[in-house]
Chains A and B, each alone.
Chain A
Amino acid sequence: MRRLGTLLAVAAIALAFVPHALAPPATLLAALAASLLLEPAALKRAWRLPALLLVLAAAALTTALVGWAAAPSRGLAAGAAVLLRFLALLLLAALASRQVDADAIARGARRLGMTRLGLATGLALNALPHLGEAARDAWTALAVRRRRPLPRLADLPRLAEVLLAHTARVAEEAAAAAALRGHDALARPSAPLPHVPLLVVVTGRPGVGKTPAMRGVAAALRERGVSVAGFVQIPVWGEQGKGGYTVRDVATAQERTLAVKVGERRGEHGTPFRFEPAGFAFARAALERARAGSVLILDELGPVELRGGGHMPAVRRALARPGLAAVLATVRPALIPSFLSQLAVPSAVVVDIEELAEPVAALLAALAPVLPPAG
């Protein structure tokens, strides 16, 4: 019954656009039948007195106009057609507003293979109150700054600029939050890697010692004569906690500033940090040292990389280098599914170092299949 009702509603909409004398009554009949099958109460809601008066006025005007321009009989026919079309469209509108909601749209989008569109509309709905609040704040801030209750016309571009920039920041944060939670449904699918070296994912809660473990492994590998390339990212601690990051080339032990804390509002990519292009260039150069037989060290790949930014372009270039022995990458536990999905690798060894007494030894053991025997 429900399917038949939906079909009749669609047919009514299509009939409304057919230029034939029988189309308007057929439209109304189809709309009435759809309403009776789906929701009879829609009739009462759609045809309220003010709406009916408006429709009657439009039909009367059309009758008079066409009657004057052509002939009275033609005027009556045109007026009747307008009346029937409007009545049908009002009914269909009332029906649709009750039957179609955000969930229905998402379901429909999924069925049509447009899942991302459904998710985007859901995100848009959720963002509405936030954007409204931002608009109100921007308006109030401008009024306070200008000492006027209402901004002038000349202030509108400034207001728009603030609001548009805020909207872009929220979009960045939403993408970062999705990556952080391992949601990749809104992301574009990535191309699989041409060569797949042994991939060891090092994980664990923040502060358990992932970066020191990576530095330890790099040193141990160098001692064994294994070529290492890549970088570790070392937090810089200040009086107010983590103040930024430096990036360290594991082959040369040189360092550069990568990120400086500037606060949540001024931060980049939804983080409280400002990133230095020179730091990324330095990390890129460190990755370019990788050659056949190297172990690639990546510490640490976060939400920025999982959205394709930050180190990711250089990482993908390094991973495409033929003959790499292994890749050792630090990733937070929540990001592992997204990370593996992004690289499109068939398998990986995941080492959670949180419970390990000797994390360096455990990582060397994970790399053992591709390492030369220890001298």
Chain B
Amino acid sequence: MRDARAWTHAALFGSLWGAAEASLGTVLKATNVPLSGLVMASVGVLCLLTVRRLQPTVGISLVTGVVAAFLKVFSLGGLVLGPAVGILAEAALVELAMTATASSALGAVVGGALALAEAPLQMAVTAVVITGPEAVVALGKAARALAGWVALPTASPLAVLSAVAAVSGLAGAAVGGLSWRLAGRVTRRLRGST
């Protein structure tokens, strides 16, 4: 069959996600709104799951992510590698979860959890790449010392990172479930209007 809809849907939903990243994402980042990374990751999960529910084609989430990353990188006239890599990783994780579960609600929950848990992990990896492992070890030591001064229980940086990723993952699972539900409403809306 010759059906261009999978590609046009990937292009349009990637465009929507990329536009949200370039506008809302930039504003949230510039105004230092807390948890802006998680908010934008949730927007991405919503776009990815909606396009997957409308066009359950293997690979469509990945193409949507590539389009969104392209727009994020070039829409502001400056190359921003970190967010683009984050978008691609998020799309790849949702693609993996949805392909493994044949585009089901379970896949949406797992995909959402993986996508949001990826954000703090990506930040850590970027920090290691840019500042080097030595700086990260030093940062961990500083954090432990700071925790000791204010009488907080100390934990290894890896444990803290794992805890943050786990909490983000739980939030992501909820976002995935809600996004799948909203995608269902979009599908019904499109069918109902015809």
Hey, which bits of chain A sit against chain B, CB under 8 A? 16-17, 19, 58, 62, 65-66, 68-70, 74, 78, 81-82, 85-86, 89, 92-94, 96-97, 100-102, 105, 116-117, 119-121, 123-125, 127-128, 131-132, 135, 157, 160-161, 163-165, 167-172, 174-175, 178-179, 183-184, 186-190, 262, 265-268, 274-275, 306-309, 312, 316, 338, 341-342
Contacts and interface: CB of A to CB of B under 8 A. Distances in A.
Nearest to A179: B4
Contacts, number: 194
Nearest to B133: A19
Contact of A171 (B8, B74, B80): B8
A174 B46 contact: no
A188 B5 CA distance: 10
Given A92-B79, A93-B81, A65 B2 contact: no
A81 to B, nearest CB: 6
Interface stretch (B64-72, B93-101, B103-111, B155-163): B64-72
B11 A161 contact: no
A66 B2 contact: no
B132 A167 contact: no
B15 A188 contact: no
B52 to A, nearest CB: 12
B16 A121 contact: no
A124 B9 contact: no
A186 B4 contact: yes
Given A97-B77, A308-B1, A127 B11 contact: yes
Contacts of A121: 11, 14, 66-67, 70-71
Interface-centre pick from A85, A175, A312 (highest chain B CB count, 10 A): A175
Interface of B: 1-16, 18-19, 23, 46-47, 50, 54, 63, 66-67, 70-71, 74-75, 77-81, 129-135, 137-139, 141-142, 182-183, 185-186, 189-190, 193-194
B46, B47, B129, B138: residue with the most chain A Cβ atoms closer than 10 Å: B138
B8 A178 contact: yes
Given A19-B132, A128-B19, A69 B71 contact: no
- Residue with the greatest number of chain A CB neighbours at <10 A, chosen from B10, B16, B75: B16
Contacts of B79: 92-94, 96-97
B132 A100 contact: no
Given A92-B79, A93-B81, A169-B190, A175 B5 contact: yes
B134 A123 contact: no
Contacts of B66: 117, 121
A94 B78 contact: yes
Q: Which 3 A-B pairs have the closest CB atoms?
A: A69-B138, A268-B194, A308-B1
The winner among A62, A165, A168, A172 for most chain B CB atoms within 10 A is A168
Contacts of A268: 194
Given A78-B131, A89-B81, A123-B11, 13 more contacts: A62-B135, A78-B135, A82-B131, A94-B78, A97-B78, A120-B63, A121-B71, A123-B8, A128-B18, A132-B19, A161-B182, A171-B8, A190-B2
A183 B186 CA distance: 28
A121 B7 CA distance: 10
Contacts of A316: 1
B54 A168 contact: yes
A81 B126 CA distance: 14
B141 A69 contact: yes
Nearest to B128: A19
Given A124-B11, A175-B8, A308-B1, A65 B74 contact: no
Nearest to A266: B193
A172 B67 contact: no
Nearest to B46: A160
A161 B15 contact: no
7 contacts: A97-B77, A124-B71, A132-B23, A164-B47, A167-B13, A184-B4, A306-B2
A65 B12 contact: no
A171 B132 contact: no
A167 B68 CA distance: 14
Contacts of B12: 123-124, 127, 131, 167-168, 170-171, 174
Nearest to B185: A161
A92 B63 CA distance: 25
B193 to A, nearest CB: 5
Most buried by A among B15, B46, B130, B182: B15
A231 to B, nearest CB: 20
B1 A120 contact: no
B155 to A, nearest CB: 17
B67 A124 contact: yes
B16 A82 contact: no
Nearest to A67: B138
Contact of B186 (A164, A179, A274): A164
Given A121-B11, A175-B8, A161 B189 contact: yes
Contacts of B4: 174-175, 178-179, 183-184, 186-187, 307
Contacts of B3: 175, 187-188, 307-309
